[in-house]
Structure 1
Amino acid sequence: MGNLIDILNELHLENQLTPDEIPNIDLYMDQVIQLFEHKFNESTRNEDEKVLTKTMINNYAKGKLLFPIKQKKYSKEHLLLISLIYQLKGTLSISDIKTTLEGINENIDEIDIDLFYKNYLDIAENNVIHFKEEVMSRMNKIKADTNELEHILYILSLVHMSNMYRKTAEKLVDQIISTQHITKTE
């Protein structure tokens, strides 16, 4: 197995789109794709994996994961939401992402999306630090008869942790759904 520190560095976990990297002008879809490809290309698993495509963006818009686009141009707020969708789609279903972001989309004019997104970036940065520490600690405790079996135990451990985090996130989405249901019936 390769050096775990090298593997963690190859993941580019710190790679996030910051509000400062988004132009102060609205962008066309091709410009949005180019921005995301440039920013997240190193984070993909292989060269064939696309960060963002026209189809994905159109599906996000049709699925109401984004508030309406005006004149085929995407605002800074749209790009921040697309960045959040990019982060969420690795774990949550499109339906769960829609539920999670629905309140933001419905109240986009009343929310300080820049501040909200900066809070997310702070949390993400802290999560990366703790994740790396946790992975190193966990992997140092795993011992098996062969390197191959150790490698498989590493994978199983990470997948198990991932599943626990995903299930917890899904339960939190379910709470949003439950709250919305109560609000709509009142």
Structure 2
Amino acid sequence: MNSKYDFMENIGLNENLSLQEIPDIDLYMDQVIQLFENNFKETRRAEGEKILTKTMINNYAKAKVFFPIKNKKYTKRHLILLSLIYQLKGSLSINEIKGILDPLNERIIKDDLSIDWLYETFLKQADKNAGIFTESVEASMNELTESLGAFQRDEEDAEYYEELLAVASLAHMSQLYKRAAESLAAKIESSRTGKEK
């Protein structure tokens, strides 16, 4: 990768918990935390930042974001849900996450539903998303470079201006995706509450 895009190397684009990495045996909370720490370490913003803590898991349980555990152990389905929650929590509130996961949790409880296929579909799409994202960022950075070419009179600050605009552009794009996710989550919640009436 071009040094211009070296910041992309440290953001954990392909960090996910694969189905093969999820044990078939039930895990205690400390084991769950260790599994997440090992698999999502590249997504940390700072050294020492925790990926998942006991407090987080307890808060998810209290908010009923995932179905209840038994005997203080987390099943494979719990781990899949926790992985999805980890992906969602950067864009959605706990209440929004609960709203979109409630129907899935209900089906799991009622039907003892296996959700491996759903999670595998998510992982495949996440992999595609990483490729699309990389291409999009590179194209955006190239466009910024070209756009700034005519305006860069002070070469000393040229790199700074380019990076500043790249950060602003990425943050804007992030907000657009976040708003789209929030809108779709609200639609799921709305259709669900409509059915309950």
- TM-score, normalised relative to structure 2: 0.90
For residue 181 of structure 1, report the CA deviation from its aligned partner. Answer: 1.9
Larger radius of gyration: 2
8 Å contact from structure 1 (residues 61, 68) kept in 2? yes
Aligned pair partner of 1:166 in 130, 154, 178: 178
Give the letter for the 2:38 counterpart: H
User: Cα RMSD (Å) of the superposition?
Assistant: 1.3
In 2, Cα distance between the equivalents of 1:19 and 1:45?
Answer: 25
Tell me which residue corresponds to 2:134: 132
- TM-score, normalised relative to structure 1: 0.95
8 Å contact from structure 2 (residues 91, 182) kept in 1? no
Correspondence 1:23 to 2:35: no
For residue 45 of structure 1, report the CA deviation from its aligned partner. Answer: 1.0
8 Å contact from structure 2 (residues 144, 165) kept in 1? yes
Query: What CA deviation, in whole Å up to 9, does each residue of 1:100-147 have, x standing for no partner?
Result: 111111111353300000000010000000000000001100033222
In 2, Cα distance between the equivalents of 1:96 and 1:57?
Answer: 16
**How many correspondences in the alignment?**
184
8 Å contact from structure 1 (residues 17, 39) kept in 2? yes
Runs of 4+ deviating beyond 6 Å: none
In 1, Cα distance between the equivalents of 2:194 and 2:67?
Answer: 23
Give the letter for the 2:159 counterpart: N
Shift of the 4–17 alpha-carbon distance from structure 1 to 2, 3 Å rule, reads farther
Percent identity between the two aligned chains: 49
Tell me which residue corresponds to 1:60: 60
Structure 1 runs not aligned, ≥5 long: none
Tell me which residue corresponds to 1:35: 35
